[in-house]
Structure 1
């Protein structure tokens, strides 16, 4: 079966995916809701909940592009962390901050990896539908707003770093002190993002904040965690893109992936600065408005 994906569809979804993957507003949620809101051929062509969907092959390409953008942006940091992991294995030691943080990222990624392998198909085919997605997007907004409300009770955590201009290594030195159990718990929050409408970056940032991290450090940990998860998810599904599901749409996939990669790079560049001293509340309000508007539109259409 040859899929269909117009250049306009590929461009719009690719650009939105790149931005919304790292903003705490759920990229998968937008990939489900936008076609449903537009309707017509968009709704027919861009149905991610279909068991054998060419649109899924397209989403795979976008995820790989997003992961590459994250690797490029955090290139110096990943060189340092990978070197720490390699030296830790070779020397059979965990002594430096880089070694410890590298292992923390590995361990914190395992839970979502296992759940994704086992339950991704079921969750996608049953929950990646417009109405459940809109509901989850609204819940995502409530989580963001609730976290900021709780955070105001202990504003000193963020104010400690608000005026500092520091390197990633300095932030990573603090993250390396996070207890292993807490780090795994923060990483496990990504499991919630397997439901479309729940943001991976949003729930992990909130989990980090609630475990005592500054908003900036929580966001950085979230971005570092996202890189291997997004890349692995894309790599495991790459066969969909090279196989029959990718027939007829590969040029559009490349176009959308380019826009997605650029959008992701610009997003992470913006967010690493924005979240140093600004609230998640605007994103929470956006999620609530988008969710309510979508539900109303589905009800009256």
Structure 2
């Protein structure tokens, strides 16, 4: 049985943490990079192989990525979980936290069901270099197409409108306490509250549609964050709110995908590679945290277009490489 080298663990661990949140498909890169390098990398890092230790390794990376998202958005998740609990106890859905919590639950259901039923089929049949490269090109076209369609539809589908923070909350606009006096942390929290309020106004069917877009990410090369952001943009969200909703929506999915397969780490697949899994997971955690920190700022005033171009160029280059090799 092929094992994982320390170099493979370090490279793939760091790559997973970054690529999972960038709209470029972490699974796609985890399939393509070993195939391009070839040799022992292609043999050791074959995600479609049923008995490969690479599967246990990927499980650890997914859990680490989800934990990084939880750490970064911990204040948001405290509010969301509190909103869900109070909603159940009081049998009401009134506050923005309650509404957003239920929208995230509803948006997670479609991909959860399909993932449980078809994840193995998607992975073993499609997680091969050529189909993955094709899907990466498609992912790039989706990102560019969403940006183009959104520009055309701006007049017909209004973008998310900013709303004031709830009265009495952290974002009160009291003349005696102007916004410029807020600390950076307070300003960030106020922006998060305003974003949650805007997202909480979404109709349930719109949230389910955005969440269902994650199903396509079961195909290696299709980015989970990319397709959810693209769908959000087409449904009238701003880049900032689309990114925020995408990251919140993906957290339980990524965590569940890892937790459901934690048995692989404790079983035979994890034998001999647990130290590499630990190092790779640590790098994945750091990479994911830095990535989400960067992307939440990036999408305040920038688009998906650079990532779309990147996916098309890399996917096409891989197809050429596989064709001539």
TM bucket by the smaller chain?
Answer: over 0.9
Task: Give the number of the structure whose alpha-carbon radius of gyration is greater.
Answer: 2
Cα distance in 1 for residues equivalent to 2:297 and 2:74: 17
C-alpha displacement of 1:279: 1.3
Counting only pairs closer than 5 Å after superposition, residues 57-96 of structure 1 correspond to structure 2 as 57-96=56-95
C-alpha displacement of 1:181: 0.6
Asked whether the 8 Å contact 1:10–1:253 carries over to 2, the reply is: yes
2:298 counterpart of 1:274: yes
CA deviation vs aligned residue, 1:17-73 (integer Å, no higher than 9, x gap): 000000000000000000000000000000000122210110000000000000000
Asked whether the 8 Å contact 1:3–1:247 carries over to 2, the reply is: no
C-alpha displacement of 1:154: 4.7
| Residue aligning to 1:99 | 98
C-alpha displacement of 1:152: 2.0
| Residue aligning to 2:126 | 127
C-alpha displacement of 1:260: 0.4
2:317 counterpart of 1:293: yes
Asked whether the 8 Å contact 1:158–1:215 carries over to 2, the reply is: no
Cα distance in 2 for residues equivalent to 1:253 and 1:271: 26
CA deviation vs aligned residue, 1:74-103 (integer Å, no higher than 9, x gap): 000000000000111111111111011101
Q: Gaps (5+ residues) in structure 1?
A: none
Query: In structure 2, which of residues 180, 185, 197 is the aligned counterpart of residue 173 of structure 1?
Result: 197
Asked whether the 8 Å contact 2:159–2:236 carries over to 1, the reply is: no
> What's the secondary structure of 2:202's corresponding residue?
coil
> What's the secondary structure of 1:197's corresponding residue?
coil
Asked whether the 8 Å contact 1:193–1:200 carries over to 2, the reply is: yes
TM-score, scaled to structure 2: 0.89
**RMSD of the TM alignment (CA)?**
1.5
| Residue aligning to 2:112 | 113
> What's the secondary structure of 1:48's corresponding residue?
coil
| Residue aligning to 2:278 | 254
CA deviation vs aligned residue, 1:267-291 (integer Å, no higher than 9, x gap): 0000001011101110000000100
| Residue aligning to 1:224 | 248
Cα distance in 1 for residues equivalent to 2:242 and 2:43: 38
CA deviation vs aligned residue, 1:166-198 (integer Å, no higher than 9, x gap): 521110100000000110010000000000000
| Residue aligning to 2:17 | 18
Count of residue pairs brought into register by the alignment:
298
Cα distance in 2 for residues equivalent to 1:155 and 1:220: 20
Cα distance in 1 for residues equivalent to 2:222 and 2:115: 14
| Residue aligning to 2:50 | 51
> What's the secondary structure of 2:48's corresponding residue?
coil
| Residue aligning to 2:230 | 206
CA deviation vs aligned residue, 1:145-170 (integer Å, no higher than 9, x gap): 11111122255856966xx9752111
CA deviation vs aligned residue, 1:232-253 (integer Å, no higher than 9, x gap): 0000010011110000000000
Q: Which runs of 4+ in 1 moved over 4 A?
A: 154-161
> What's the secondary structure of 1:22's corresponding residue?
coil
Cα distance in 1 for residues equivalent to 2:283 and 2:202: 35
Cα distance in 1 for residues equivalent to 2:159 and 2:41: 43
